[in-house]
Amino acid sequence: MIAFLNIFLALSLFRSAFAATAEQWRGRSIYQVITDRYALPQGADATKCDPANQTWCGGTWNTIRENLDYIQNAGFTAIWISPVSQNYEGPRSAYGDAYHGYWIADATQLNDRFGTADDLKALSDEVHRRGMYLMVDVVVNNVMSTSLTPDLSTFMFKEQSQYHTYCPVDYSNLTSEQNCWLGDDKVPLPDVNTQDSTVVSGYTSWIKTLVETYNIDGLRIDAAKHVNVDFWPQFCGAAGVFCIGEVFGDDIDFASQYQGPQALDSILQYPMYGALVDAFAIPGPQNMSAMTDMIAQSKAKFKDPGLLGNFLENQDLPRWANISVDVQSLWNAMVFSFMSDGIPIVYYGQEQGFAGNADPFNREPLWPSQYANTSTYQFMTTLNTLRNFLVNSTDNWLNSSMEVLTTTSNGLLFSKVL
């Protein structure tokens, strides 16, 4: 039987002021885009973007700016864009080209595939004109190479001492996870030594300049668990804005160490994602009690569950429609993501029913959908409308902790104080 959640619906007003603190991000909802895949320039060939080809399709910061209505009309109050830094531009790698933005070469330079400094400023200005926040993805753990002996002169940090010596990652060992290289021998990702004082000063200077130059409101930090945790307070302190990190995996005891004054403001809620899949995906165990247990664990172990990032899809996971055959299962999970403790995040195309499997098939172009007003887009808009109303018109809802009232084999009822 399909799981369900009961909610009351209402209308919404947006908050017009924007700011950069964690507390001010608490009431936001975020739409995530891969810059290359969101929208094309006028006149571009809209038929030539097969995710399997793993190459650039032509999206830019300008085309995001020109198509913000689609995001704002759905009720989102923030947008998260893929990394803006210069990427690898050498011969095509074994895994294609750096269209996604995560294969960093020199963090201090912009990626001219996506536009100019003026283009990025124009996007930021337009986002803020609409009363929305701008979140930018950043990569500090590693750079990208096609060799285990890379030419360091192409990177931001050019000394051997500023990188850890190559070793493959042993995911059962924390030191290995933090010091060894992600990737593989075809596309290795040299691990930056974030305990080196020159690296720390270089990164803190860079992120302060980036945030100030482009008026960035928040940072999503890639591969956050692969960096020594005491680096983050320095880095995010220099940025002066909300930081949410990727801590991939379902181990809540490990993940919870990365939220707090000794670490990051927030992380993406991977442990809850796993529970949502178990509870709502069809076919699947429909295990509502496991989700109830995860709610209790989150409240007990995280410093502030209300700042965690709730999501159902992203660029590293199969689309929901790839793992579940019923759109109602998506809607049920979306209700939880929007109305429970945490900040809801929707990955572009979720509202269009995209069904790609893992990377690269989950990085489809959005434009073939013609930005249709689908039933899921409408449902998503309703959820944003309700959430924005509660954020702006109640005294306690945003800061109250959810309480599970009852759980059955196919349902969960929870409340939050208004």
Task: Check 97, 246, 265, 364 and give the catalytic one.
Answer: 246
Q: Count of CB atoms within 10 A of residue 397's CB?
A: 17
- List, in order, residues 6 or more apart from 47 with CB less than 8 Å away: none
Q: What φ, ψ does residue 413 adopt, rounded to 5°?
A: -120, 125
Task: Check 222, 265, 313, 364 and give the catalytic one.
Answer: 222
Tokens, residue 313: 């899809």
Phi-psi region of 215 (alpha: psi -120 to 50; beta: other; left: phi over 0): left
Q: Count of CB atoms within 10 A of residue 6's CB?
A: 10
Q: What φ, ψ does residue 124 adopt, rounded to 5°?
A: -60, -45
Q: Is 222 a catalytic residue?
A: yes
Tokens, residue 7: 């909610």
Q: Is 119 a catalytic residue?
A: no
Where do the DSSP E strands lie in 169-255? 182-183, 188-189, 218-221, 242-245
Which segments are annotated as binding site for substrate?
A: 54, 103, 220, 316, 363
Which segments are annotated as binding site?
A: 54, 103, 220, 316, 363
For the annotated catalytic residues, the residue numbers are 222, 246
